[in-house]
Amino acid sequence: MTVMRLSDSFSATIADLAEELGANLREWREEGTPTGGEGGGCLLLLAGGAEGEAVDRLAEIPTSAHAYLIGAAEDHRLAAAAVQRGARDYFALPADLGLLRRTLERERTESQARGAAAEFAEGERKGSGFDAILGESPALQKVIGQARRVAKHRDVTVLIGGETGTGKELLARALHYDSPRAAAPFVEINCAAIPANLLESELFGHEKGAFTGAVAAKPGLMEMAHGGTVFLDEVGALPLELQPKLLRALETREIRRVGGQQSRKIDVRLVAATHVDLASAVKRGEFREDLFFRLNVVPLVLPPLRERGDDVERLAETFAVSLARQYGLPVPALTPATRTALRQHAWPGNVREL
């Protein structure tokens, strides 16, 4: 917890609360940088007798900080002004001491959860990031370079193309775990694997009683991915009747559950993948043109394995070592004849086939 002291009031009370919660206190310097110790992400403005000044100082606080104003005046107009200026809440001590304690307990729990999520994301970045995509061919590295650049932009929609087995899911995961959304969920939906009559409910959720068997309300995967990334694999298989609803979700950042009347805000990045030519599907009337334009903001096309040169040998060596370890066998050597066969094969199934 970071403390900005505008008066000497409540210092002992806050110190006791911090000790009770097992949190460290750090001081807010004039330039707005916290100093000393570790703690959660909330900022406490101690302002007994200086509440008006504290409200004015709220403009200096970064919007990402969870700022709470602590004063002595029990004044609802002061509380409203503080919240309007950016504070999460106002506490008048000693009357609100219990409420302040519960709020700080919640902040501590949320801070620990954010830390755990960031740690998980870092681990996934190492195992599922761009470095996990094996290959040095110029064709592959060009696509990875483009993907690295777009990953930093948290809201940009990406459409990944390429033949089946080229690694579209790997690239989607790398985009997520190298992005500002890495600590939030990565939710994958295979549009070809879910029956059309169930896909709408899976994507957008449903309310209780929306259809036979809907005995309870259920959030959809778009809601469950809030803050993170939704990966729509095989988006070309999305039924035509569902495409307007996905288009609306992309345009408005809102969804409506099946059987529901209320729109719900979502905050997701959409990454879609397809092995079919969506532009041709549009001409055939199998895919909506407006949805295609919404998905095709940044197109990334993975090259087939037959166009990746020496990568086929590098991948074969890597897989041979991995499989030998898995089955407790000696690592087989790739003979010149094997290498020649690897290079000459067309690999219609690409890396999956290998």
Residues 299 and 315 occupy one common structural domain: no
Note whether residue 123 is domain-resident: no
Closest CA to 266 of 220, 232, 234: 220
Note whether residue 49 is domain-resident: yes
CATH of the domain at 185: 3.40.50.300
Angstrom distance (rounded) from CA 260 to CA 258: 5
- The helix/strand/coil state of 353 is helix
Residues 6+ apart with CB under 8 A from 52: 78
Closest CA to 42 of 92, 96, 89: 89
Residues 161 and 269 occupy one common structural domain: yes
Residues 222 and 151 occupy one common structural domain: yes
Residues 36 and 174 occupy one common structural domain: no
CATH of the domain at 338: 1.10.8.60
Angstrom distance (rounded) from CA 208 to CA 120: 34
Q: pLDDT tens across 48-92, in order? A: 888 888 898 887 777 667 889 988 888 888 899 988 888 889 998
10 Å CB burial of residue 154 (0-12, 13-18, 19+) is: middle
What DSSP line would sit under 160-202, residue for residue?
Answer: EE-STTS-HHHHHHHHHHTSTTTTS-EEEEETTTS-HHHHHHH
- Expressed as residue numbers, the domain containing 109 is 2-117
Whether the per-residue pLDDT at 201 is higher than 80: the answer is yes
Note whether residue 127 is domain-resident: no
Which of 117, 149, 184 corresponds to the end of one domain?
117
Residues 55 and 148 occupy one common structural domain: no
Overall size of the chain counted in residues: 354
Name the pTM for this structure: 0.70
Residues 6+ apart with CB under 8 A from 147: 130, 158, 171, 174, 175, 300
Q: pLDDT tens across 254-312, in order? A: 999 999 888 999 999 999 999 999 999 999 999 999 999 999 999 999 999 999 999 99
Query: How many domains, in total, are found in the chain?
Result: 3
Rounded to 5°, angle at Cα 114 from 203 and 184: 25
